[in-house]
């Protein structure tokens, strides 16, 4: 697919276009929202230490926020593939940040998943929430159950463009950030290493 020219807009909110949701056999997954939050600052935790150093000013992160629902049954694993387009223009090769997060023991209901762009990357490449587009795909049993992308600057289908420059590991999940402890009980459990599938107990 030929990389097409991106058109800048002055819209301050994320334009949600191209949402596709389709069900696998069981369970069903539906994406309800994706947003890019530009005013996310490093949280300040109070702690007693031997050194009474003054806290540095909070730095500004970028957050990609996804909301989705699952139904029918508990799921052993749900994987979310995130992408962020941070370079656009007819003369430039598109740069796409990618990463994936796998959640375990996901119960039926509403869920959300966040990834973050570190303040250093924002500062180095002058990235703001108004400059990027985001995409996400929810995977169950290795199959895409639902997907979504924003098209503020890019044409629909930009997440399938040919030969972008891919940077993995630059989108951080919340366990890799200082936001890990905020609203902890509302977060899904992120898979760490290999987890064996639990067998259902026999009655």
* Secondary structure (DSSP) of 66-135: EEEEE-SS-EEEEEEEEEEE----TTS--EEEEEEEEEEEEPSEEEEEEEEE-HHHHHHHT--TTT-EEE
Residue 197 covered by a domain: no
Residue 119 covered by a domain: yes
Structural domain boundaries enclosing 147? 16-41+58-175
Residue 25 covered by a domain: yes
Report pLDDT digits (tens) over 108-162. Answer: 999 989 999 999 988 888 888 888 999 999 999 999 999 999 998 888 888 777 7
Number of domains in the chain: 1
Residue 192 covered by a domain: no
pLDDT of residue 51: 46
Residue linked to tokens 């949701």: 21
- CATH number of the structural domain spanning residue 115: 2.60.40.10
Residue 132 covered by a domain: yes
Residue 3 covered by a domain: no
Residue 10 covered by a domain: no
Has this prediction a pTM greater than 0.75?
Answer: no
For residue 160, report the phi and psi dihedrals to the nearest 5 degrees.
-110, 15
The 3-state DSSP composition of the chain as helix, strand, coil percent (nearest 5) reads: 10, 45, 50
Residues 146, 135: Cα–Cα separation, whole Å: 11
Report pLDDT digits (tens) over 54-80. Answer: 555 678 899 999 999 998 789 999 999
26: how many CB neighbours lie within 10 A of its CB? 11
Residue 115 covered by a domain: yes
Beta pairing partners, 171? 117
């Amino acid at each position: 697919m030929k990389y097409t020219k991106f058109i800048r807009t002055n819209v301050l909110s994320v334009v949600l276009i191209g949402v596709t949701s389709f069900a696998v056999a069981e369970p069903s997954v539906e994406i309800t929202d994706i947003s890019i939050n530009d005013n996310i600052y490093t949280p300040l935790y109070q702690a007693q230490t031997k050194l009474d150093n003054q806290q540095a000013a909070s730095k500004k992160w970028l957050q990609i926020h996804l909301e989705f629902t699952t139904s029918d049954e508990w799921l052993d694993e749900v994987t979310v593939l995130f992408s962020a387009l941070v370079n656009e223009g007819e003369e430039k090769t598109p740069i796409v940040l990618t990463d994936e997060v796998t959640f375990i023991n996901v119960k039926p209901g509403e869920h959300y998943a966040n990834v973050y762009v570190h303040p250093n990357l924002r500062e180095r490449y002058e990235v703001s929430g108004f400059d990027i587009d985001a995409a996400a795909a929810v995977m169950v049993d290795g199959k895409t159950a639902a997907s979504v992308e924003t098209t503020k600057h890019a044409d629909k289908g930009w997440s399938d463009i040919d030969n972008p420059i891919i940077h993995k590991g630059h989108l951080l999940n919340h366990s890799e950030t200082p936001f890990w402890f905020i609203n902890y009980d509302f977060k899904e459990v992120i898979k760490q290493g290999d987890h064996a599938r639990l067998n259902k107990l026999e009655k």
